[in-house]
Chains A and B, each alone.
Chain A
Amino acid sequence: MQRIATTVRLNRSVLQFDDAAHARLERYLAESTSLLEGDPDPQEILADLEQAVADQCIRRLGPGQIVVTLAELAPALEEIGSVQAPGDGVAAPSATMSREPSPRLLQQFSEGAVISGVCLGLARYFRLDVTLLRVIAVLMLLGTGGAMVLVYLALMLLLPHAPLDPGGARVRWLPARCRAFMQYVRAKLGVDRPGKVAA
């Protein structure tokens, strides 16, 4: 006696595959599974693909033929194609979520700033609590007899402004003035680095 076929359940259909076709099928499904890594709902897609494979194979079976061979499976898989993740389509706002993390930049943040966002920028860069940094800045201001103001002004001039969040960033009056003024000064001095000071 010889085993000639494996019975496989593909979603809602049950089919018999010979060894070569069975191996090819397992490879295709394993490939699909790994290509769907990161998809929030791979089970549903895999179930749909299994059904597609089953339907395609059944359509290709000759009259009286029970066992699916590579002759049916290979063209079926060819027609179904390998899994393609949906691209950044016109209607895919979720696609922007998966952008690569931006590199850590030393910059000043107008949004949420008290004066110009220098402390906020330093806090984000060094991953410190911004209040702690502001306290340190005020203490240094008092300790240095006001010389800290110059350091702050220098940083205001040197640190590029972080781009504002699209769709209405909330910037208070003083940081907004500081931002506009520093951008004006930079433009005058010609130290404006294109790309860094995005509006």
Chain B
Amino acid sequence: MAAESKLAPIRKGLLEFLVLKIVGAQSIYVPDILRQLAGTEFATQEGTLYPLLSKLRREDLVQYEWQESEAGPPRKYYRLTATGRAQLAALDDYWNLINRTIADFGH
């Protein structure tokens, strides 16, 4: 499908936004982020998510803390920093804005 080649970069660009949203809703570890994304257009893998989270952490948008788990090694739970929260709010606003703009055209 020809449209697919245009949709893929859109999804890729929006993944970061979505991850910020998911992490913003609750303190969460990676397998649960993947489970939330699975079955959506944004289904992804650890090989993609870990580099992205590492980048977001360097940009001081997310931070993590270790939490013990009943089984296996401790887990990294991610949550937003104050900067991350501000950026998520800005992205959310912008997303609503462009959504309205797109909807307004072509009538």
Chain A interfacial positions (CB closer than 8 Å to B): 11-13, 32, 36, 39-41, 44-45, 48-49, 51-52, 54-55, 58, 79-92, 94
- A82 to B58: give the CA distance in the assembly, Å: 21
Contacts of A54 in B (CB 8 A): 73
Q: Are A13 and B17 in contact (CB under 8 A)?
A: no
Q: Are B16 and A55 in contact (CB under 8 A)?
A: no
B25 to chain A, nearest CB (A): 17
B22 contacts the other chain (CB 8 A): no
Q: Are A39 and B50 in contact (CB under 8 A)?
A: no
B49 to chain A, nearest CB (A): 9
Q: Are A86 and B46 in contact (CB under 8 A)?
A: no
Q: Are A81 and B47 in contact (CB under 8 A)?
A: yes
Contacts of B76 in A (CB 8 A): 48
- Beyond the given pairs A51-B73, A81-B44, 15 more chain A to chain B contacts, judged by CB atoms under 8 angstroms and listed by A's residue number, are A11-B73, A36-B51, A41-B54, A45-B54, A55-B31, A55-B72, A79-B46, A83-B47, A83-B51, A86-B16, A89-B12, A89-B13, A89-B52, A90-B17, A90-B94
Q: Are B73 and A82 in contact (CB under 8 A)?
A: no
Q: Are B73 and A13 in contact (CB under 8 A)?
A: yes
Number of A-B contacts (CB under 8 A): 86
Q: Are A12 and B47 in contact (CB under 8 A)?
A: no
B81 contacts the other chain (CB 8 A): no
A60 to chain B, nearest CB (A): 13
Q: Are A41 and B48 in contact (CB under 8 A)?
A: no
Q: Are B16 and A89 in contact (CB under 8 A)?
A: yes
Contact A81 B48, CB 8 Å, known A52-B30, A90-B14: yes
Contact A58 B72, CB 8 Å, known A89-B13, A89-B15, A90-B13: yes
Q: Are B45 and A86 in contact (CB under 8 A)?
A: no
